[in-house]
Amino acid sequence: MFRGWNNTFVFIVFLCLPIISLSHGGETAADFLRIGVGTRAIGMGEAGTASSRGAEAAYWNPAGLAPTTQRIEMISGHFFWFQDVSVDHCIVAFRLNRRTSMAASIVFVDYGDIKGYDSYGMATGEQLTAYDLSGTMSIGLVLYKNLSTGISAKIINQYLDGINAYTFAFDFGMRLRMGNTALSGALVNFGPDIRFAKCMEKLPITLRLGAFLFFPTKSIITALDIDLPKRGDVTVNTGIEYNENDQYFLRGGIQINPRDFKPHPTFGCGMRIENFVLNYAYTTGYHYMRDALHRFSLTVNIP
């Protein structure tokens, strides 16, 4: 009995301590790290800290990797962020044993061709190249029964016409399952500043707190996330998923910024065909993009 209370106490301390430091406003670099990966959680209003499992959890909360239900799971997706800016991502997760899973993931943002201008605002006729790139290795471990933890290490690269900026960061997560509910927390993008030319910029360090409720019918999941960025606005994300025989999925969610209480609804759906799952998400506005976005992703499971 005392061991269970000790696990719960450790989990609560992990969630509460970092909140003290995540209270500043401002701007950050490498904001592409805030682009959600995995259309399932996106369709649920980005409420993925507690509800994401398997490969998708490598982005939202690495503690959700342990244990994955599949021996190997791969998620890949592509969408246009705005105009000619495209985002590609791929995650491959694999189960090492009953208690441990790992994942490798990559996110690539291509800004397309950018016209060059001189200091007087005149076009130079040159085409500039720019992109953002991150590569991540994650591991999830079951500590005790329904308590799991995870950590991710990532390399971050931003490139603009011959100028490279590099840094690294870590994600830390925990997840506690209690019957049909779960509590989760993840501190993401924790690392040193990134230097671009002579400028030093902060990373988008964020504390995510999440919970989900899995109804006994096993058909409906509801989720709630609170994102507490060190620099930027707090967001409250809620989502729901309806599952029909583990083959057809309907999803919806709402993102709210408590500063103006303007809701941003999201919608999604999915279909499973044997070991393949095709997911779609539609977002009407986000903290990193005001325009509507359409996203698709494909999940491949190898039992």
The pLDDT of residue 14: 41
Contacts of 257 (CB under 8 A, 6+ apart): 233, 234, 235, 236, 287
- b/e sequence 178-211, b meaning 16+ C-beta within 10 Å: eeeebbbbbbbbebeebebeeeebbbbbbbbbbb
The pLDDT of residue 73: 95
In contact, 157 and 176? CB cutoff 8 Å:
no
The pLDDT of residue 144: 87
d(CA 224, CA 239): 7
Would you call 118 helix, strand, or coil by DSSP?
A: coil
The pLDDT of residue 286: 62
Select from 68, 51, 69 the least CA-distant residue to 60.
51
Block means of pLDDT (10 residues each) for the chain, 303 residues, are 41 39 54 88 94 93 85 91 86 93 95 74 77 96 92 94 90 93 96 85 94 85 94 91 93 88 91 95 72 89 89
Q: For the domain bounded by 2-302, which CATH number is listed?
A: 2.40.160.60
Contacts of 188 (CB under 8 A, 6+ apart): 33, 152, 169, 171, 205, 206, 207, 208
Domain ranges (residues) in the chain: 2-302
The pLDDT of residue 9: 38
In contact, 148 and 141? CB cutoff 8 Å:
yes
The residue with tokens 């959890």 is 57
